[in-house]
Chain A
Amino acid sequence: MPGPSFWQRLWAGLDARLALRNFVYEVPPYANTLPYLLGAITLMGLVILVATGILLGQFYIPDPAAANASVRTIMTQGYGGAVARGIHVYAAHFTLVVLLLHLGRVYVTGAYRFPREANWIGGVALLATVLAFFFTGTVMRWDQGAIEALEHNLAFAQLLGVFGGWFSPAFSTHVPLLARLYMAHVSLLPLVLFILIVGHVYLVRQHGFSPHWSRPAATQPPYTFAHHLRRAVGFGCIMLGVALALAVVRSPGEGPAPVPGIEVTKPPWVFLPAYALETWFGVPSLLWGTAAAFAWLVAVPFLDRSTAPGWSGRRRALAVGAAALIVVIGLGVFAWVSHPVAHLH
């Protein structure tokens, strides 16, 4: 009788030291369907962003006098800078889309209800963190759109009053705000993201995958988390491949070095609803619009206390969610088709 193979011995050795068997726990089969994989695919996108971000960080200069030129250097000189930047940009868009779809799936299936309220709130915090990544990444480009985003950052700091100190240049007068936002982009936000993801994954492990809205789990053959992870890696490979192809075929551009004091651009797509609010109700709507949206998201599990497993018992929550989605998309479309307007100057 042959003894264990090399791989079996390797696994046994690693498992004895790292307790890898804990990752081979059973998950229901629907956990391997696309709607239930969106969270894991978001994680894969974040891994791509961290890897390409580390590469870009070696060549980016977070100094207002040199940032735009350093982006151009990344785009035009060796080490595959243009490709790395392209993957970073496209993967950021894809990751945000997948994250929003994940949020939508959790909302539609009511997976935020007892006992998963804390994990929903953690997920909302993750969304805020990823949006902060997206915002600070926009400023890193240091072109006209970037400085207009930065000026909105300053306006936001003023709106926050005494709580806006960190966002203000007065917080550290000898360090440019661009450098501090870069620090946030590459160290503060990754730390927050890591802590939130660890907590999020821990709670998923503790509570298990949320029940399917129609299929009873007991009637399905079980799979393991390793299978779930493998499929997520597969989707991550597809995301990386598509981002790479787009980076090669349609490399993201870079605008002229910025000049302060005018507003002639519009923000990236995810901020367009806030831009529309700002156009209609002025700069303070940046604060109350954002605060209202996140307050509603945090309150969702406490407003919807239904226990029905399917959709029929949650008509009110689904109607509210659909209405919120229509409002957000409507605001975004309005901002997208409208001409850029000055909000600050």
Chain B
Amino acid sequence: MHGTRDRARKLAAGLAAAGALLLSAPADVPAAAQRVALQPQDALTLVRQTLAALEATPPNLSVASEKLSAALHAQDSRGVDMARVTQAAQAFGLHDPGAAAAQLLEALRPSMQQPGGIAAALLVPAPQARFAGTPAEDLLLVIAAVLVVAGGLTIAW
């Protein structure tokens, strides 16, 4: 009995030591410096970040507000229609995030026309395929039902 407890105690001490070792490893990571380095300065990235925040489920309005404000004051506005960004900010101020997102999408049009620019279709969620009851979908559902019934019969056999 005592042997078991001793083993458990030694194991726990070993795990604690390993944990302390692992925790001490990242102590020199310059996290604050990294955060600063990651803050984008260009309107293009900031507008895309705002759009991503608005298109999240549910929309993250606080992040969108912060990024939109930064985009409005960005020094580098290449590839962005800043008039549209201003209109997006007005729509956002009127608590209409949908309209703000639409304006931001339009604001990115100049960058889309540049070589290597991202396609507009990729800046919005892919159209969700909805069940339409087509013959192909009905056939697939029949196959699904056959699989379930066949599985049930195999289990019962």
Binding site for B on A (CB under 8 A): 68-69, 71-72, 75-76, 82-83, 144, 158-163, 230-231, 233-242, 244-245, 247-251, 253-265, 283-284, 287-288, 291-292, 295, 299, 302-303, 305, 339-340, 342, 344-345
Contacts and interface: CB of A to CB of B under 8 A. Distances in A.
A288 B22 contact: yes
B63 A264 contact: yes
B35 A241 contact: no
Interface stretch (B76-84, B89-97, B145-153): B145-153
Given A237-B148, A237-B154, A291-B19, A256 B26 contact: no
B129 interface: yes
Interface of A is mostly: helix
A299 B38 CA distance: 40
B74 interface: no
Instruction: Sort A-B residue pairs by CB-CB distance and give the 7 closest, nearest first.
Output: A241-B147, A237-B151, A234-B154, A161-B25, A238-B151, A234-B155, A241-B148
B102 interface: no
Nearest to B140: A248
Contact of A238 (B19, B31, B49, B152): B152
A261 B125 contact: no
A58 B152 CA distance: 32
30 contacts: A68-B122, A72-B121, A72-B126, A75-B126, A158-B26, A159-B25, A161-B25, A233-B151, A234-B152, A237-B147, A237-B151, A241-B148, A245-B145, A248-B140, A250-B131, A256-B55, A256-B123, A259-B49, A260-B38, A262-B49, A262-B53, A265-B57, A284-B23, A287-B23, A295-B19, A302-B7, A303-B8, A340-B56, A340-B60, A344-B35
A248 B31 CA distance: 45
Contacts of B148: 237-238, 241-242, 245
A111 to B, nearest CB: 19
A307 B114 CA distance: 71
